[in-house]
Amino acid sequence: MADAVTTAPSSSSPARTFILPGDPLRPPDTHVDVRTQELQINMGPQHPSTHGVLRVAIWVDGEIVTRADPDIGYLHRCAEKIGESVTNIQYVPYTDRYDYLAAMNNNLGYCLAVERIAEVEVPERAQYIRTIAVELNRIASHLMAVGTYGLDVGAFTPFFYAFREREEILRILEWICGARLTYNFIRIGGVMRDAPEGWIPDILKFLDLFESRLDEFNDLLTHNHIFVQRTANVGVITLEDALAYGITGPMLRGSGLRYDLRREAPYLLYDRFEFDVPIGTGIKGQVGDCWDRYWVRILEMRESARIVRQAITQMPAGEIMAKNVRHLAFKSKPGEGYLGTENPRGELGYYLISEGQPNSYRSRIRAPSFCNLSILGKLLPGTMLADAVAIIGSTDIVLGEVDR
Amino acid sequence: MTTQEIKQALEKDGLGAGLSLFEGPKDPAIVVPREQLVKVARHLRDARHLAFDLLIMVTGTHMIEKRDAKGVVVREPGFELIYHVRSVKNRALLAFKVKLPIGDPTVDSVSAIWPAADWHERETFDLVGITFKGHPDLRRILLPDDWEGHPLRKDYAYPKAYRDINLEVDPPWPTP
Amino acid sequence: MDALVSLFRDSWHWAAGTSFGVALVISVLFIVAFISVWAMFGVWLERKASADFQVRLGPMEVGPHGLLQSLADGLKLAFKEDLVPKDADRFLFVFAPAVAFCGAFAAFVAIPFSPAFNVVDVDLGVFFVIAITAIGVIGVLMAGWSSNNKWSLYGAMREAAQLVSYEIPSALALMIPVLVTGSLGLRSIVEFQCMPSDGDLKAASLVYLSPNGWLALYSPWTLVAFIVYYVASLAECKRAPFDLPEAESELVAGFHTEYSGLRFSFFFLEEYGMMFVVSAVATAVFLGGWQPLPWLSINFATLGFVGHLLAVGVFLAKTIFLVWVQIWMRWTLPRLRVDQVMVMGYKYLIPITLVALTMMACYVAYGIRYVPGIG
């Protein structure tokens, strides 16, 4: 049975082994005179559920997927080549566009990497404002992820509820920097603008409402019996597989490993805040299934709200931009370094080689969605087509950063 | 665990042949000779005290010749591959490099050791042009399959056309 | 329609055949008009109800509270380009929406809107409705196959499996009221529920108590039958949580992906038509038809034409309520996967229905009544 595909046991069916057509060990279909064949279908690049221009070439036998091959590159915008030709300061708006749902985190990663190499000291108030912006963006990104995940499995209403909250966050972020999606707010050396009058009380008002709204969302979608049936025991990623395939972020935490870069290698000011790192424990099914990853995202939103509250109480007055940043337009310090930050999707890393010029010699982006997507070729075979949609939704990819 | 300590641990385990330390103004890295790559990588993953099980990134860079003010060659042209790996147990991040000559950008694939390297190596092959021997499925990943050239090389010439699309268009802003 | 036939024959002294033909044409045209207006209203109701659940307003611009929005959409669909994909099977592609629509449309002839308003008082009403609505399955299969699109084929195959599977619990659940009333005709089932205690329906007073009451509350087994029938009918209408055939987020639009313009509007008419048919049958069989309250009946025939209109009003109110509950469930629940749909149909609904059927048969045989006789 060289090419047999064994399905994983699910809540409604035991594990079954399929011997595929074309395998010499398959018994001849003598009792039926209908010849079945394997069908190759394309999911994407235009598809409501692939969260962007992703093409997954799927080979199906009936409803069971036998082979899957993700085909990316539809959104490739030559990010790394551009990083070599524009200066570091000019490159910051480009970083917004990779993971456009968590643009603040992208800005932050790049600015921290450049600041490390160019030895720029960022004032403390700016770091607190950065933390607030980044964590609010994390909540917005997770809201989008869980909302569209509900849409993927057919629940249309929770999407609107999630977006009601996301709309609030986007309004808050627009107040401080003028943009709703691609902020270009965190600059090298600090932030673009100080918190205006009334911004902080508005955030606190939002956070007070947010907790109860999250409970409402949980009642509607998370504990819904049909949703649990669709996502529990589906797409189980074992911890060994997750580590082997370079998966980070909520996907890794959903498989049970308490690994968060904000704890392991703290950057910014994360060692001053108290927050938990949620992991998936297999409440509804197996550890590492789609429901666990989804549950980790829900819990992380609560933790981000906690961090924002602590950042607001601890924030001092002061400058918001470092003093000696202007010279970076003309020269920088030589060196190469890698800095990894915790994006809502995983570990976002920037590896910069600088030779003292204002532009980098090499700027390489380690996109978490790129690495998370590579497990799809191993995870999809053996699942049903509807499960494939649920699994792709639970990886929470953004094609902007997969393709860069 | 600093890079120095990891290098010493590797030397103690008998894999120190050819290893050197790249100090760098910022992040240090262990320079591994091309032939030793797979052995060192496997040891990094499997050894108990090292346990680098999470491959973060594989980066390829085309290094052009660098001369200093007097015209002396400071850096030979070539390719540089840098691997970043993390150890969950030991909370460490390690960077190790492999330098490749300009005429022969091939190296062994580590995708058997870290399956995460599969896509990273495909991307490096696609954009920089480094070939990985032993890779299960080395084809272009981001660019179309029939694209010519490797864009991230410093001497990449922008194509004039791709299939029947003319790429020599004037930009809509004034150019000198 | 019988009233119309007698009207034409007696007033204008037409021959029986002519009277029958003219009455038939008028009735059918009336049903066509009704189904069109119903589809527009159904779409408006769906959009407003879903907007309400999703914390937004829904159509507000066209007409007061968006009432004319469906008309505008229908006109827009009529003006769209009529596409047939190049490699599609042209005959099947063109014919499929008609077949699907006819399946839903033909079932309207048996629905008893009021004691006198029905197209034909079909003696085999229940059987007829179940059989005719199954024709829609063929239409959907034709649509999916002829589109020359793998995703449409997927929708069609899933739909065939689902609809055929859920016919069984749906029909079995309808057998339980048939067992109680002893008749397959939809009007006689409603009359059973409205029956006064002396058994003479025509001579009853205006407002009277009927001991049988709504069949849904007649006995626990008929209540089970009502719930099973409602759930199975959700699957028949391809509504969430059983909307795999048109699973928007998975298969783009399932079996009607390639359809646009007027052909697509036929599938839409079919969907809302089926929703109405299924809710109307549930109302007639389980919720008492034109009986206003469970054990309180009004003898509408004594009020003449106005009385019949009131009866139609009561019937439509209950039907629209059931349709609203269908819409409510669609926008709340996620979608079941195809094997879970099959499991639910075969492993849960059919055994429950068989048990209920057996118990109901015992109740009827031994004369056990849940509610003691009134009056």
- CATH number for the domain including B89? 3.30.460.80
Question: Touching check for C57 and chain A: CB below 8 Å?
Answer: no
Is residue A387 less than 8 Å (CB to CB) from chain C? yes
When computed from its CA atoms, the radius of gyration of chain C, rounded to whole angstroms, is: 22
**Is B172 part of any domain?**
no
- Chain C nearest C-alpha distance from A228 (Å): 10
pLDDT at C150 over 50: yes
Distances (CA, A) of C321 to A42, C34, C262, C318: 41, 18, 28, 5
CB contact under 8 A, A353 and B61: yes
| Predicted local confidence at residue A30, as pLDDT | 52
Q: Give the span between the Cα atoms of B61 and B58, in whole angstroms.
A: 10
Residues of B in contact with A81 (CB under 8 A): 151-152
Indicate whether C252 pLDDT > 80. no
Same domain, A96 and A24: no
Q: Range with the lowest mean pLDDT among A156-160, A308-312, C77-81?
A: C77-81
**What is the reported pLDDT for C278?**
92
Asked if the model's pLDDT at residue C375 lies above 70, the reply is: no
At residue A134, does pLDDT exceed 90?
Answer: yes
Nearest by CB: B88 against A259, A334, A403: A259
Please name which of A153, A161, A287 lies closest in space to residue A229, comparing C-alpha atoms.
A153
Task: In whole angstroms, give the CA distance from residue C242 to residue C239.
Answer: 5
Domain that holds residue B142: 3-166
Specify the DSSP element, H or E, that contains A343: strand A334-343
Find the radius of gyration of the CA atoms of chain A: 23
State whether residue A351 sits within 8 Å of chain B by CB. yes
Mean pLDDT of chain C: 83
Average pLDDT over residues C94-108: 87
Which of A156, A161, A219, A294 should we substitute to test contact with C (largest number of C Cβ atoms within 10 Å)? A156
Check B95 against A338: CB less than 8 A apart.
Answer: yes
Instruction: State whether A26 and A83 are in the same domain.
Output: no
User: Virtual CA dihedral for C274, C280, C285, C287, nearest 10 degrees?
Assistant: 130
Please report the residues numbered 214 through 253 in chain C whose beta carbons come closer than 8 angstroms to any beta carbon of chain A: 240-241, 243-244, 247-250, 252
ipTM score = 0.89
Q: Is the pLDDT of residue A271 over 50?
A: yes
Q: Which of B82, B117, B143 sits opposite A76 (nearest CB)?
A: B143
Do B59 and A244 lie within an 8 Å CB cutoff? Answer: no
For residue A309, which of A204, A191, A169 has the smallest C-alpha distance?
A204
Kindly give, in sequence order, each residue whose CB lies less than 8 Å from that of residue C202, ignoring residues fewer than 6 positions away: C301
Residue C286 CA to residue C226 CA, distance in Å, equals 6
Which is more confident, A32 or A353? A353
Average pLDDT over residues C79-108: 84
Same-domain status, A1 and A113: no
- Same domain for A275 and A381: yes
Query: pTM for the whole thing?
Result: 0.86
pLDDT band at C206 (very low <50, low <70, confident <90, very high): confident
Write down the pLDDT at residue C246: 63
Query: Tell me, what's the pLDDT at A36?
Result: 61
Q: Say if residue A1's pLDDT is above 60.
A: no
Nearest residue of chain A to residue C335 (CA atoms)? A154
Contact exists between B and A (3 or more beta carbon pairs < 8 Å): yes
Distant-in-sequence, close-in-space partners of C5: CB < 8 Å, separation ≥ 6: C16, C19, C20, C23
Whole-number mean pLDDT of chain B? 86
Do A104 and A32 share a structural domain? no
Instruction: Label the pairing between strands B106-108 and B131-133.
Output: parallel
* pLDDT of A3 above 60: no
Cα–Cα distance measured from residue A267 to residue C196, given in angstroms and rounded to the nearest whole number: 81
Find the CB nearest C56 among A160, A227, A229.
A160
**What pLDDT, on the 0 to 100 scale, is given for residue A397?**
87
A338 at interface of C, judged by CB pairs closer than 8 A: no
Q: Tell me the residue range of the domain where A171 lies.
A: 78-403
Long-range CB pairs of B140-147 (<8 Å, 24+ gap) are: B140/A73, B141/A72, B141/A73, B142/A72, B142/A73, B142/A76, B142/A403, B142/A404, B143/A73, B143/A76, B144/A73
Residue A297 lies in a domain: yes
Residue among A350, A383, A375, A386 at smallest CA distance from A365: A350
Residue A8: predicted pLDDT: 59
Which residues between 1 and 20 in chain B have a beta carbon less than 8 angstroms from any beta carbon of chain A? none
Question: For A141-155, C16-30, C177-191, which range has the lowest pLDDT when averaged over its residues?
Answer: C16-30
Q: A379: closest CA among A392, A396, A398, A367?
A: A392
For the segment C205-232, the average pLDDT, to the nearest whole number, is 86
Q: Is A45 on the interface with B (CB under 8 A)?
A: no
Q: Is A262 helix (H, G, I), strand (E, B) or coil?
A: helix
A2 pLDDT band (50/70/90 cuts)?
very low
Percent pLDDT > 90 in chain A is 35
For chain C, first and last CA: distance in Å?
34
Rounded to whole angstroms, how far apart are CA atoms B78 and B128? Answer: 11
Q: CB distance from B93 to chain A under 8 Å?
A: yes
Task: Say yes or no: A16 and A92 in one domain.
Answer: no
Q: Chain A interface, mutation test: which of B2, B30, B31, B57, most A Cβ atoms within 10 Å? A: B57
From the CA of A277, how many Å to the nearest CA of chain C? Answer: 29
Same domain? A6 vs A124: no
In a domain, A96, yes or no: yes
Q: Considering only CA atoms, which of C364, C30, C337, C334 is closest in space to residue A159?
A: C334
- Which chain A residues are Cβ-neighbours of B115 within 8 angstroms? 244-246, 374, 378
Question: How confident is residue A18, by pLDDT bands cut at 50, 70 and 90?
Answer: low
At residue C169, does pLDDT exceed 60? Answer: yes
Inside any domain, residue B171: no
Both A22 and A118 in a single domain?
A: no
Contact yes or no for A255/A292 (Cβ under 8 A): yes
CB nearest A244 (choices: B116, B120, B141): B116
Give the pLDDT confidence score for residue A112 in this predicted structure.
93
Whether A101 and A4 share a structural domain: no
Pair A82, A19 in one domain: no
Cα distance between residue B169 and residue B158, in whole Å: 12
Q: What's the structural domain count of chain B?
A: 1
Mean pLDDT, residues C221-237: 90
pLDDT of res. C373: 46
Q: How confident is the model at residue A49 (pLDDT cuts 50, 70, 90)?
A: low
Q: What phi, psi does A59 have (nearest 5°)?
A: -105, 125
Contact (Cβ atoms closer than 8 angstroms) between residue A70 and residue A55: yes
Alpha-carbon span B14 to C249, nearest angstrom: 56
Rg (CA), chain B: 19
pLDDT of residue A108: 93
- Note whether C334 contacts A227, CB cutoff 8 Å: yes
Residues C87-105, mean pLDDT to the nearest whole number: 85
Whether residue B174 is contained in a domain is answered as no
What mean pLDDT do residues C107-121 have? 83
Flag if A389 and C56 touch (Cβ within 8 Å): no
| CB–CB contacts below 8 A, A to C | 82
Question: Which chain C residues are closer than 8 Å to A48 by Cβ?
Answer: 248-250, 252
User: What mean pLDDT is predicted for residues C238-260?
Assistant: 67
Q: Is B25 on the interface with A (CB under 8 A)?
A: yes
Q: Which two tokens stand for residue A50?
A: 């692939």
**A9 and A155 share one domain:** no
Lowest mean pLDDT among A10-19, A297-306, B74-83, C334-343: A10-19
Tell me, yes or no, whether B125 lies in a domain.
yes
The secondary element (H helix, E strand) that includes residue B84 is strand B78-87
| Residue from A123, A141, A121 nearest A133 by CA | A141
Residues on chain A touching B141 (C-beta within 8 angstroms): 72-73
User: Residues of A with CB below 8 A from B91's CB?
Assistant: 264-265
- In this prediction, residues C164-180 reach a mean pLDDT of 90
Res. C323: pLDDT tops 60: yes
CB nearest to A230's CB, from C150, C334, C343:
C334
CB–CB contact A366 B115 (8 Å): no
Based on the domain organization, do A26 and A87 belong to the same domain?
Answer: no
User: DSSP labels for A16-84?
Assistant: -EEPPTT-TTSPP--S--PPP--EEEEE-SS-TTSSSS-EEEEEEETTEEEEEEEE--TT---HHHHHH
How deeply is C142 buried, as exposed, middle or buried, from its count of CB atoms within 10 A (0-12, 13-18, 19+)? buried
Average pLDDT value for chain A: 86
pLDDT at A24 (0 to 100): 64
Chain B nearest-CA distance from A7, in A, is: 22
State the Cα torsion C57-C62-C65-C69 to the nearest 10°: -80
Contact A370 B152 (CB under 8 A): no
Q: What is the pLDDT of residue A23?
A: 63
Residues 6 or more apart in contact with residue A260 via CB below 8 angstroms? A253, A277, A342
Q: Is residue B82 part of a domain?
A: yes
Please report, for the domain that includes residue A353, its CATH number: 1.10.645.10
**Mutation to test the A interface, candidates C153, C248, C340, C348, most A Cβ within 10 Å:** C340
Does pLDDT of C55 surpass 80?
yes
| Axis-axis angle for helices C125-133, C186-194 (nearest 10) | 130
Task: Quick: pLDDT tens for B11-23.
Answer: 888 877 788 888 8
pLDDT for res C248: 47
Cβ separation C248–A387 shorter than 8 A: no
pLDDT greater than 70 at residue C298? yes
Q: Does B130 touch chain A (CB under 8 A)?
A: no
Chain A closest-CA separation from residue B146 CA (Å):
13
The arithmetic mean of pLDDT across residues B102-118, rounded, is: 90
Asked whether residue B70 is assigned to any structural domain, the reply reads yes
Q: Which residue did the predictor score with more confidence, C43 or A15?
A: C43
Mean pLDDT value of segment C288-295: 83
Task: At A228, list the tokens.
Answer: 């649990």
Instruction: Report CA-CA distances (Å) from C166 to A348, C344, C353.
Output: 49, 9, 12
Residue B116: both structure tokens together: 């995460």
Determine, yes or no, domain membership for A26. yes
B175, part of any domain = no
Q: Is the pLDDT of residue C249 over 80?
A: no
Number of folded domains in chain A? Answer: 2
A29 inside domain: yes
Q: What is the mean pLDDT of residues A188-217?
A: 90
